[in-house]
Amino acid sequence: MADTEAVVLVGGKGTRLRPLTISAPKPMLPTAGLPFLTHLLSRIRAAGIRRVVLGTSFKAEVFEEHFGDGSDLDLDISYVVETEPLGTGGGIRNVLPELTASTVMVFNGDVLGGTDLREILALHRAKHADLTMHLVRVSDPRAFGCVTTDDDGRVQEFLEKTQDPPTDQINAGCYVFRRELIEQIPEGQPVSVERETFPQLLGEGRRVYGFVDSAYWRDMGTPEDFVRGSSDLVRGIAPSPALDGLAGEALVHEGAGVGAGAVLVGGTVVGRGAEIGAGARLDGAVVFDGARIEAGAAVERSIVGFGARIGHRALVRDGVIGDGAVIGARCELLRGARVWPGVEIPDGGIRYSTDM
Ligand code: GTP
């Protein structure tokens, strides 16, 4: 598909995933053993697109160090760095000098999806659209951009994060642009496609279409979604061309040790060189490389950062443990607790219950 190039926006700070995003940009966090972005890039390649431009800003150097010229993924990747983040629209405008194709497929770099991208492109062409947006239906659309369409799929209205959504169709973070539209985005200044560009294009009467489907889709922006998405990849619920038919309760990487009687379920991932103690219970846990879960500890729907340690019989549920943090024996961390990198909580130092 030489007439189509891809742009992936990866310049965000990923504040909702702090503290994990203090040391690594969100699209590089490991998911099912690979930097998250690898899953998206493989999907782009599977759709026949070879040329990809990454719009970077926050921790820009990390991307090029890892992906280089893209040849490992049979892609041709180049990078454009924003010294100051320009937002989603500004980021797209900023990479324009690197683009030569007439059709540009733009992606938010934090979406895990199963849609066949060729179908979105086919609709874009069939409708002779100026812009085609991928839309998905969700049960609670309030946190997203709501998009209403008519019977022909033409977009009527775009409402970013509204309390009273008129539809359950939301912006899935993937768009096909006619190149000329990108040229019209103001240069060198912050622009939001969601708040400025899309409403403006609709106001001008442009041909904007929505592609709706029911394939797997998840925005990986929060710890809860990150944990679910990772677990879905391991269990084969979320498809990824970068993984070879993965489908199981747990994925244990090389060099990791799992002690006797440890239970690993719910799409748990154990990173390289991590250690899981005897009798530990991991349910939907994401354990990064070199972390240690000691004997009898329980980790549920939580992320344990690089080299962090969870002590003997401690419990972490719906939590995020930063890189190198230490959770002492018998501690309990529940309901969205976030521990910053390197912080050490002494044995029994945090409890939710008194029975011990
Ligand atoms: P939060 O701070 O948690 O909201 O995360 P975020 O900074 O990643 O923002 P958001 O999830 O809204 O961004 C959606 C996608 O656009 C992500 O892949 C971001 O990396 C990317 N993005 C957001 N802002 C910018 C920007 O200013 N420049 C570029 N190049 N990409 C951006």
Is the Cβ atom of 9 under 6 angstroms away from ligand 1? yes
Q: Does the pTM exceed 0.85?
A: yes
Measured between alpha carbons, how far is 206 from 241 in angstroms, rounded to an integer? 34
* Residue with CA at minimum distance from ligand 1 atom 11: 221
* pLDDT at residue number 2: 67
| Cβ atoms 230, 267 nearer than 8 A | yes
* pLDDT at residue number 306: 96
Pocket test for ligand 1, best of 10, 88, 220 (most atoms within 8 A of CB): 88
CATH code for residues 249-345: 2.160.10.10
**Look-up: residue for tokens 């990849």?**
233
* pLDDT at residue number 356: 60
Measured between alpha carbons, how far is 325 from 338 in angstroms, rounded to an integer? 10
Is the Cβ atom of 35 under 6 angstroms away from ligand 1? no
Helix residue ranges, H only, 161-222: 179-183, 198-203
* pLDDT at residue number 353: 78
* pLDDT at residue number 300: 98
* pLDDT at residue number 150: 95
Virtual torsion, Cα 82, 85, 86, 91, nearest 10 deg: 50
3-state helix, strand, coil in the chain (%, to 5): 25, 30, 45
Rounded percentage of the chain residues whose pLDDT exceeds 90: 89
Residues (pLDDT < 70) of the chain are: 1-2, 355-356
Distance in Å, CA 293 to ligand 1 centroid: 32
Distance in Å, CA 52 to ligand 1 centroid: 17
Q: Structural domain boundaries of the chain? A: 4-223, 249-345
- Homologous superfamily, domain 4-223: Spore Coat Polysaccharide Biosynthesis Protein SpsA; Chain A (3.90.550.10)
Residue range 96-151, pLDDT digits in tens: 999 999 999 999 999 999 999 999 999 999 999 999 999 999 998 888 889 999 99
* pLDDT at residue number 159: 87
Is the Cβ atom of 312 under 6 angstroms away from ligand 1? no
**Closest ligand 1 atom number to CA of residue 10:** 20
Is the Cβ atom of 93 under 6 angstroms away from ligand 1? no
Pocket test for ligand 1, best of 7, 8, 10, 112 (most atoms within 8 A of CB): 10
